Amino acid sequence: MARMNMIQALNSAMDVMLERDPGVVVLGEDVGYFGGVFRTTDGLQRKYGEHRVLDSPISELGIVATSIGMAVNGLRPVAEIQFADYIYPGYDQIVSELARLRYRSAGEFYAPVTIRTPCGGGIRGGQTHSQSPEAIFAHICGIKVVIPSNPYDAKGLLIASIEDDDPVIFLEPKRLYNGPFDGDPGKPAVPWSAHPRGEVPEGHYTVPISKAQIVRAGSDVTIIAYGTMVHVAEAAAASLGLDAEIIDVRTIVPLDTGTLCESVRRTGRCLIVHEATRFAGFGAEISATLQEQCFWQLQAPIGRVGGWDTPYPHAFEWEYFPGQKRVAMALEAVMTAS
């Protein structure tokens, strides 16, 4: 086992797959010679050459479209969109093409493309470097959506995504790249080396897509979160001394409804936490599903915490971010309601 931060774990996943499968290619803006603006592809072009790790023009549309064409011709592209906020020029190619190719051609053509993209805030990125767009991909039929919360899962899920024959949007919470983050920006940064999920095997392994993980077992309340908010939720629950069951969703689509419902039926209370804007956020889908399937076991209305329904503001980043206080207040509401 090695100690890796999330960037190193993702780099290792691509390294492993470039080594194992000659069809795997990595492409994106700044990913080649420079190794990526977050260093995620550092050293890969040197190791595998310019035909396997390609710097691409600044065109998300072109990156997604050429990835589709490459995949149809037998390659397995891993495309990087530099920030999730930049993905929209490629959105039509994702929604109308990548997601539907298998369906519209009745399985004759398909495109196993993985689109990696850093998401989320907490890095002073303002409204164009902080978005969490998982819900707008979750609403599209035919595409899987994955979001890890730690280095071990990041590597295992990325390898699973690359090996998957369906297209995957792979969201990387960039605030977690260098260490777990509990939502308190005033505290000194914690490195992944001190965290158990910072232990990452060097070689090939997978974490299954479509499986949520109970990161902390508990009986008072179920907190459902993903990405950065898994860590914020853990800290918020601990601050209240609650015996909370905390579930890391890990895969948005296809959603592991079974694990979520099983937990909520046991605890009878549930809070859903995500960083994305709340209105029509993915929490709404989870909440509706739980209400349909666990209504008679619920002891309180399901709570939802998210970012405010505004763009992500530069100067008010920590007032916008759903930190421990907002989560704790929502938890108290869920615990006291009856």
Partner 1 sequence: MANRPRTRLHVPHPPARPGDRADFSYLKLQPAGAQPRPDVRVSAQATLPMATGLVRVLDDEHRAVGAWDPRLEPEVLQGGLRHMLLTRIFDERMQRTQRQGRISFYMRCLGEEAVSVAGAMALRPADMLFPSYRNQGFYMVRGRPLVDLMCQLLSNTRDMCKGRQLPVMYHWREGNIFSISGNLATQFPQAVGWAMAAAIKGEDHVAATWIGEGSSAEGDFHAGMVFAEVYEAPVLLNIVNNQWAISTFQGFAGGERSTFAARGPGYGVAGVRVDGNDFLAVHAVTQWAAERARKGGGPTLIEHVTYRASAHSTSDDPSRYRPKDEYERWPLGDPVERLKQHLIALGEWSEERHAALTKELEEQVGASWREATKFGTLGEGPRLDPDLMFEDVFKEMPEHLALQRDQLRAERS
- Residues of this chain that interact with partner 1 (CB under 8 A) are 25, 51-52, 54, 56-57, 59, 61-62, 65-75, 89, 92-93, 96-97, 101-110, 141-142, 144, 164-166, 210, 254-255, 257-258
Distance CA 272, CA 263 (A): 13
Q: How far is the CB of 133 from partner 1 (least distance, A)?
A: 19
Between 93 and 267, whose beta carbon lies closer to partner 1? Answer: 93
Q: Is 129 a catalytic residue?
A: yes
Between 23 and 268, whose beta carbon lies closer to partner 1? Answer: 23
- Other beta carbons within 10 Å of 298: 17
Distance CA 226, CA 234 (A): 11
Q: How far is the CB of 65 from partner 1 (least distance, A)?
A: 4
Closest C-alpha to 329, from 273, 286, 258? 273
Between 8 and 93, whose beta carbon lies closer to partner 1? Answer: 93
Between 134 and 234, whose beta carbon lies closer to partner 1? Answer: 134
Distance CA 312, CA 230 (A): 20
Between 96 and 310, whose beta carbon lies closer to partner 1? Answer: 96
Give the residue ranges of DSSP H helices in 139-193: 151-163
In the set 129, 195, 231, 274, the catalytic residue is: 129
Q: How far is the CB of 315 from partner 1 (least distance, A)?
A: 33
- Other beta carbons within 10 Å of 5: 21
Closest C-alpha to 267, from 246, 238, 282? 246
Distance CA 260, CA 263 (A): 5
Distance CA 328, CA 313 (A): 23
Per the listing, tokens 């405010």 go with 308
Q: How far is the CB of 301 from partner 1 (least distance, A)?
A: 24
- Other beta carbons within 10 Å of 114: 30
Q: How far is the CB of 91 from partner 1 (least distance, A)?
A: 11
> Could you tell me if 120 and 132 are in contact, meaning their C-beta atoms sit under 8 angstroms apart?
yes
Q: Which two tokens stand for residue 60?
A: 């998300």
- Catalytic residue set: 129
